[in-house]
Structure 1
Amino acid sequence: MLAQTPGTTDTATREQDIFPDNSDTVVGGSRDMRYFGPHSGIALVSMGTCQEGDRPPRRTPQPPPQKECWSSWTHPSIQSVLEKQTNKHLPPWAEAFSLVSEFFNYEHQAFPCFHPPSFMALLGKQYSGASAENPAWWASLNAVLAIAQRRRVERGQCPVADEDLAWGYIASALGTVLDVLMRNTQLLSVQALLTVAWFLVGTPNPQPSFMLTGSALRLAHSIGLHRSSDDSSWSPIEREMRRRVFWVALGLDQELCLRTGRPSTHDLHDFHVDLPDHSTDDLETSMTTGGSSLDLFKAQAQLAVIQSRIYRSLHSREPSERATSDSADSALMLNGQLEEWHATFAMALRLDQPPQNCDHYGLMRLSYSYFNCVIVVNRAYSRGYWMPLHRRTAHHLTTDMNTSIQRCLDSARSIIAFVQTTPVQWKSFHWDVISIHASASIVLSINILSNPGLDSTERDLQAVGVVLGLFATLEEQHADTYLTQIRRACEELYRRAQLASRSFVEQLPQPLPRQDLGCRDPVAETHREKSPMGRQPVGLTVPNTVPNSDALLTLPQGGDDCAFGNEPQLNGIEFNPGGSPRTGQTVPYPWLEPWGLDMLLERDFAFF
C-alpha cells in the first residue's frame, strides 16, 4: 500500500522502543543545529530534561545560554572566500514583493519548500533594514526571485532579455552556497540549497541541481529532518515545515536519480517521517483545466516512494546478477503500486489524454514522472525485446511481456502527446524533461525497427519527429550541451526506423495506399488533427525528415538490407532489431538504462 512507508509502519515504533533517547538535535546560539543518531557517542550523553510521568527523558534542542555555535568556525585563510557576493542587487520593494507573491501563487504547489507568511515576514525585515546577515536567507531570497523572473519571461509577461535578470539573481544565490554548506546548518539552509537546485533543474546543465540536491539531503541529515520529533521547543509550523522540506528534498532526489540511473542520496529504508497530510489550503492545491483539484505535493511524495523502490528493485545491481524471476516479481509489484497511485490521482491528472490547454506545469511534470516510471519498470521486465543483443520476436514473447511492451509504448505516446501541448517558450520545462523525451523517442523507434508493419508505424514516426524538432529548437538556442549527443542518437535511430518502414512497404506483394513518409496525405492529416498525436507543439515546426542527416552515421545502402538480412552497424556493435536471443551475452552499460540509451549500446555517450 502506498501509505505504508517506513515512516508509517511499526518499524518506527520498534526503533523508538529500542532507542527511546539515544539521538539528539543540539542547537547552537545562532540557531545552527547538529543531529546525532543513536549510534554516535554523543547520543549516549544525556542532554535532555525529565518530562512528566514515567516517560524517560527526551532530548530537546534547547539553545545554550551563551553565543555558542557549532558551525561558524573557519580558518582565517579562507574567510574571504565565504564573504557574501552580490552579482545582482535586489529589486525595489514593489518589484520584489510582486515576484515573491508570484512564486507562491505558481511555484508553491509543486515546490512547497517555504512557509509563505514566514517568508514574507523575512522579506519585510530585509527591506526595512532589520534583517540579520544570514547566507541561507540571502540564497533563498535570490533563488525565489530568479525562479519568478524566469517564469515571467517564459509566459511572455516581460521581454526575453529580462531572463538575464533571473541569472543575475541566481548568481547572487550561488555566491553564498559555499558559506551555507560550510558554516550554516539550519532548516533555512536546506531550503536555500533546494531552491537553487530547483532553478537549475530547468537549464541546459542540470548537473549542479543533482549535486545541490544531494548536499541538501546531507544537510537535512545534519539537522535530523529524516527523524520525526515531538520536541516541545519547536512550534507546530516549524515541525510541519521540517517534514515538508524533507519530502521536497527526497522527492527531487528520487526524481533526478531515476532519470540518471544514479543511486539516491538517502536510503528509503532509513527515515521515520510520515507522508504529507492532505492539504485543503488553496495556495497548496493545484487546479486543472478540467476543474479538478489535486494536492500536488502529496502526489509527488507518494510517487517518490515508488521511484525509490524502482531503483532499489531493478537497477541497484548489475543485470547479470538479477534472476529473471526476481525482475519479473519486482516489475509485477511495482506495476501494481503504479496502478494504485494512478487510480488515486487519475480523476485530477486525466493521464488518459493530454491537456487541451496548458495546465499547471507541476501537474504536467508529475504526469511525465509517472509515465517515465511506467517505461523504466516495464522495459526492465521486457528487456529482451528492447536490447539488440537479446533479439526476440513477438512469437517468443509471453503474454505478460507483450503487456509490458504495450505499457511502454502507451506511455511513450502519452509523453509525446504532452510535448505537443506544451509551448516551446517553456524552455525550462522542456530542459527539465529532456531525458524523458529521449526515452519515449527511443522506445517508439525501436518498436518500429522490430515491427515496421504495424498500423501505428507512421503515426509513431511522426511523434518521434516532434521530439526531434523540439531537440533541434532547444539546441539552436544553447549549443555545446549534453543534448547534442542525445539528439544524434535519437536521430540515427529515427532514420533507421524510417528505412525499416519503407523497406517493409517495398516488399509487400501489392502496393498499399500508403504515403511516403516525406509526403502529406490530406485525409490522414485531417484524421491526425483530430487525434492528440496529430497536434504539434505550440510554436514548434516539425521537420518531415531528420535535420542535418549528412552528419549522421553512414548506413548500408539499400532499404531491404537495412531492415532485413544484413543489419546495420552502430560503431562496430551489431544492431539487431529482431531475432532469437544469444546465450552467454550480458548487456553492457547498465547505467544508461533509465535514459533508454542502453538500447543503442553506443560507447562514447557522456551525460551531464
Structure 2
Amino acid sequence: MNPQQSPGATTVRRAKACTTCRRKKTKCDGKRPVCSPCNAFNLPCGFQDVLRHSSRSSRAYVEELERRVQDMERQLQEQSHGSPEHRPSYAPTRRSNKRPRTTRANSPDQPGGLDNQSPFSASAAYEPEEDGVQSNSATEPNQASYVINADGKRMRFFGASSGFSIASPQGLTWLESQTRSGGWNHAGQRNASRWQLSNWYPRILRPDIQQRVFQPLPSKAATVELVSEYFASFNKAIPLFNQTLFNKLVDKQFGWNPDESPSWWAALNLVLASAYRERAQKSRDGSGEWQKSMGHIRNALNVVVELLMCAADLLSVQAMLGLALLFQNTPNPQPLFMFAAAAMRLAQSVGLHRKQESGLSPLQIEERRRIFWIAFSLDADISHRTGRPAVQDANDFDTPLPPKSPSDGLGVLRVQGVQLSYFHFLARFAVIQRQIYGQLYSATSSSKSVAEFAEALKGCEQMLREWRESFASNYSADLAFSLKPDYHLQHVLRLDAAYHCCYAKLYQLCILTRRSMARAPQDMEDPADLETQINDTIAKSLESARSAVMLIKHINSYGPAFVWGVVYFPAAASVTLSTHVLADPAHQLAASDLDMARQTIQFLNEVTSEEPGTYADYILGLCSELESAATKVLNPENSHSQQSTGYLNNFAPYIDTNRVSFADAAIPSNIGGFGTIGSTDIPKPGVLPQGYDIPSVDPTFDLAMNLQWPMAPFWNWGDAMPGVTVEDMGSEQ
C-alpha cells in the first residue's frame, strides 16, 4: 500500500487475462476492450478487475465482500428458481445462510382466477372462476413486511406495524436513497446472522435428548413402511408434509448424523402415531397398535416445550398441526384448541399468512401455502363450532387458495369415479365459516339493525349455496357410500357434515330475526319480502339438519377415532330439529324430525357407553332434554301418563332396547339453562308450554367445551401426558 494513501483509500488491480480465456485456460494478451483470442473466435470478452481496499479491517471492505457474496447467491437463485428440485425448507443448507426472504405483496397474481385471489378481497373467493390476472394495487401500502432467515430453516416474519419494519424492502430502499449507500440492502439478513433466530433457552431448562423417548422408534424397515402408509392415506387428503423431503429425513434419522431438532422428532412420531392408529382401527384386536400410537404421541409431547421455546421453522408448524389433527379425533378436544392456536401463531411467525415468492421454488411456495390453509381450516372450524374468536385475523392475510389441480395431485380425491378437489373445497369452506362467524355471530353483529342483519344472513346463505353447488357437482353421499367405503371418503364425509351443520345453525338466527321484526315492524322497508326470505332460509336449514342426521349411518364405518371427530355435527343438527318441533309442532314433518332426534340420541348413547365421562355426555344430556320436551309438545296425550315433576327434569333419554341397553349410562342431570316448565300444565297440540322460550344462545355453541374429563383406560391419556396422571386432569376453571 502506498504510504501516502489514507486508510480508507482503495486501489484497482487490473486483470491480466479476460474471463473467457481464464475459463478456457488459454493464453490471453490482455488487449482491451477485446483480447486477440476472443476477437479471432468472436467470443464474449470481459475483464474482472479487483477492487482492493487499503485496510482489510475497514467496514467498507467488509460491506463490499458481503455485497459480492449476496450478488453471487442471487445469481444462483435466479438460475435454480425454475428447477423442480429444491432444498428442504426444514433441512439446513449452507447456501442460504444469508439469503434474504422478503415478502412481495405488490406482485400480480398468477392467472387462475379464484385460486389466486385473496379470499377476503372485493371479488370474494366465491365468484365464478375466470382466467385472468388479479391486480394487487390495493395492497401496495402494505409492503412494509419481510421475513428473515437463518441457517436455512429458522425464519421470522416482521409486519408493517412492527417497530423494525424499516428493514423491509420498502424501508431499505428509502434508507439507500437517504444515505446514498448500497450497504442497507441486506441489513436485516446481516443482523439475523448474529441472532440466528434461536430464542433464549437456558441449558438448565432444556431436557436431555434421551428424555424424549418414551416409545422407542421401530426399525428402519418398519418406519419406512409406516411412513408410506401415512402418505398413501391421511397425507393424500390433508397434505401436511412433502413425501420426498420427509423420506430424506427418515434416511438421515437412521444414519450416522440424525437430525436432533425437536420439530423433526415431533413430526416423525406424529406420522408414526397416525399410521399405528389407522392400523388399530382396521384390526379387530388393535390394542397393541393403540398402545404404540399413544407411545409415539407421548414422544411428540415430550418436545412441545422446546417447540414453543425455540422453534421457528416450517417443520415446527407442521408438528403442531399434526398434534392438533391427532387430538381432533379424540374424546378430549382441549389439546386440539391449544395446538391449533400454537400452530397458527407459529405460521404467522414464519410469514405463512402473507404471499411470499421471492427466493422460493414453486414447490416451496406450494408447501407453505398448504400448511397455512391447514392451520386456517382448523382455526375456522374451532371458532365456528365453539363460538370463540379465531387466532388468524380474517382481514390480515393474502395467501392464495390452494389450486384445484395441483401438479402432485395432493388434496385431490377420487369420488364416484371423478376427481374431487377436496383440499381446495376445504379451504373455501373455511373462508365461508370465518365470514359467517364475523357477520352473524361476533360481538359486532349485535350492533346491526334488523334489516342489516337480515341482509348479512342472506349473503351468508348465498355463499353456502354457491359452495354447495360447486361441491355437490362431484359428490353425492348416497352414491359415494353405495359401495364399500373408501378410506379417503371419511374426509369428504366430515366436510359434508360440517356444511350441513353450518347451514342448520342458520335456523335459530332466522327465529331471532323474526322476533326482532315483530318487535320493531316500523324499521322494515318491505316486511313481506323479508318474511319470505326468512321462511325460505328456515326450510333450507331444516333440510340441512335432516341431511346431517342421515349421515350417521355412514359414520360408524370408519372406526372410533373418526366418530369422535364428527360427533358434534349430528348432535348439533338434532338440536335444530328438536327446537323446530317445539316451535312448530303442527308442521307436517314434526314427527319425522323427532324420530331423527331420537336416532341421534341413540347414536350418542353408543358413543358415551364406550367412553363415559366426556363432553359427549353433556351433548347427550342436552339433546335428551330437548327431545323429551319436544315429545311432550307433539304428543301431550302420551306424556300425560308419564311420571314427571317437570318437563325438563328427571328425564329419561331415548334408548332403542332392541339394539343395545345403556341403562347404566351416566347422564348429567339439570344440564342446560332452560329452567323448569310447570309440571302440571299439559300443553295443547300445536301450542308451546307456558313459559317456554327458544334459547337466545345456541346451547351447542360450546359443545366442544373446555372441560377435561377423566378418560377411560381405553385411551390411556395419562400415559400420553408426561408427568401427568389421569387423576390430575381436572376440569378447567
Which residue does 1:528 correspond to in 2? Answer: none
- Once the two structures are superposed, residues 250-305 of structure 1 have per-residue CA deviations (whole angstroms, 9 ceiling, x without a partner) of 111101110111111011211111111122544532122x2222111101111111
Which residue does 2:461 correspond to in 1? Answer: 335
Which residue does 2:157 correspond to in 1? Answer: 35
Which residue does 1:312 correspond to in 2? Answer: 438
Change (3 A) 1:398 1:353: farther
Which residue does 2:375 correspond to in 1? Answer: 249
Which residue does 1:383 correspond to in 2? Answer: 512
Q: TM-score if structure 1 supplies the norm length?
A: 0.79
Which residue does 1:18 correspond to in 2? Answer: 141
Which residue does 1:86 correspond to in 2? Answer: 213
- Once the two structures are superposed, residues 147-184 of structure 1 have per-residue CA deviations (whole angstroms, 9 ceiling, x without a partner) of 12112222237624421211111111111111111101
Deviates more, 1:185-194 or 1:331-340: 331-340
Deviates more, 1:110-119 or 1:497-506: 497-506
- Written as runs of structure 1 = structure 2, the 5 A alignment for 1:490-501 is 490-501=623-634
SS across alignment from 2:118 = coil
Within the candidate set 235, 244, 259, 1:117 is matched to: 244
Paired residues in the alignment total 545
2:473 corresponds to 1:473: no
2:336 corresponds to 1:209: yes
2:547 corresponds to 1:418: no
Q: Which amino acid aligns with 2:414?
A: M
| Cα pair 1:375 1:408 within 8 Å, conserved | yes
Q: Which amino acid aligns with 2:490?
A: Y
Which residue does 1:195 correspond to in 2? Answer: 322
Distance across 2 between alignment mates of 1:371 and 1:106: 25
Give, in angstroms, the shift of residue 384 of structure 1: 5.5
Give, in angstroms, the shift of residue 110 of structure 1: 3.0
SS across alignment from 2:283 = coil
- Once the two structures are superposed, residues 228-253 of structure 1 have per-residue CA deviations (whole angstroms, 9 ceiling, x without a partner) of 12212x23222211111111111111
Within the candidate set 692, 715, 721, 1:575 is matched to: 692
Within the candidate set 477, 482, 497, 2:615 is matched to: 482
Distance across 2 between alignment mates of 1:157 and 1:462: 32
| Cα pair 1:261 1:591 within 8 Å, conserved | no
2:326 corresponds to 1:177: no
- Written as runs of structure 1 = structure 2, the 5 A alignment for 1:344-493 is 344-350=470-476, 355-357=481-483, 358-359=485-486, 360-383=489-512, 398-423=531-556, 426-493=559-626
Q: In percent, how many aligned pairs have the same letter? A: 28
Q: Which amino acid aligns with 1:17?
A: E
Within the candidate set 264, 270, 275, 1:143 is matched to: 270
Give, in angstroms, the shift of residue 415 of structure 1: 0.8
Distance across 1 between alignment mates of 2:296 and 2:156: 30
The root-mean-square deviation of aligned C-alpha atoms, in Å, is 4.0
Q: TM-score if structure 2 supplies the norm length?
A: 0.66
2:422 corresponds to 1:301: no
Deviates more, 1:208-217 or 1:146-155: 146-155
Change (3 A) 1:447 1:99: same
Change (3 A) 1:411 1:550: closer
Distance across 2 between alignment mates of 1:448 and 1:546: 27
Within the candidate set 103, 110, 118, 1:5 is matched to: 118
Give, in angstroms, the shift of residue 592 of structure 1: 5.4
Change (3 A) 1:562 1:106: farther
Which residue does 2:223 correspond to in 1? Answer: 96
Which residue does 1:583 correspond to in 2? Answer: none
Distance across 2 between alignment mates of 1:155 and 1:310: 37
SS across alignment from 2:504 = helix
SS across alignment from 2:156 = strand
- Once the two structures are superposed, residues 158-214 of structure 1 have per-residue CA deviations (whole angstroms, 9 ceiling, x without a partner) of 624421211111111111111111101001110000011000011111111111111
Change (3 A) 1:229 1:212: same
Q: Whose radius of gyration is greater, 1 or 2?
A: 2
Give, in angstroms, the shift of residue 545 of structure 1: 11
Give, in angstroms, the shift of residue 5 of structure 1: 3.2
Change (3 A) 1:406 1:286: same
Give, in angstroms, the shift of residue 444 of structure 1: 1.0
Distance across 1 between alignment mates of 2:658 and 2:564: 18
Distance across 2 between alignment mates of 1:544 and 1:32: 56
Give, in angstroms, the shift of residue 449 of structure 1: 2.0
| Cα pair 2:404 2:421 within 8 Å, conserved | yes
Distance across 1 between alignment mates of 2:234 and 2:299: 20
Give, in angstroms, the shift of residue 341 of structure 1: 1.0
Within the candidate set 287, 305, 325, 2:451 is matched to: 325
Distance across 1 between alignment mates of 2:659 and 2:387: 30
Q: Which amino acid aligns with 1:113?
A: L
Q: Which amino acid aligns with 1:38?
A: A
Q: Which blocks of at least 5 consecutive residues in structure 1 are unaligned?
A: 508-517, 519-535, 569-573, 578-586, 598-605
Q: Which amino acid aligns with 1:110?
A: A
| Cα pair 1:60 1:231 within 8 Å, conserved | no
Distance across 2 between alignment mates of 1:8 and 1:256: 23
Change (3 A) 1:166 1:454: same
Q: Which structure would you say has the larger RCO, counting Cα contacts within 8 Å and 6 or more residues apart?
A: 1
SS across alignment from 2:682 = helix
Q: Which blocks of at least 5 consecutive residues in structure 2 are unaligned?
A: 1-112, 124-133, 520-527, 641-651, 671-675, 706-730
Distance across 1 between alignment mates of 2:259 and 2:494: 36
Which residue does 2:683 correspond to in 1? Answer: 561
Change (3 A) 1:305 1:90: same
2:259 corresponds to 1:132: yes
| Cα pair 2:422 2:492 within 8 Å, conserved | yes
2:397 corresponds to 1:268: no
| Cα pair 2:239 2:410 within 8 Å, conserved | no
Change (3 A) 1:40 1:594: same
Give, in angstroms, the shift of residue 215 of structure 1: 0.9
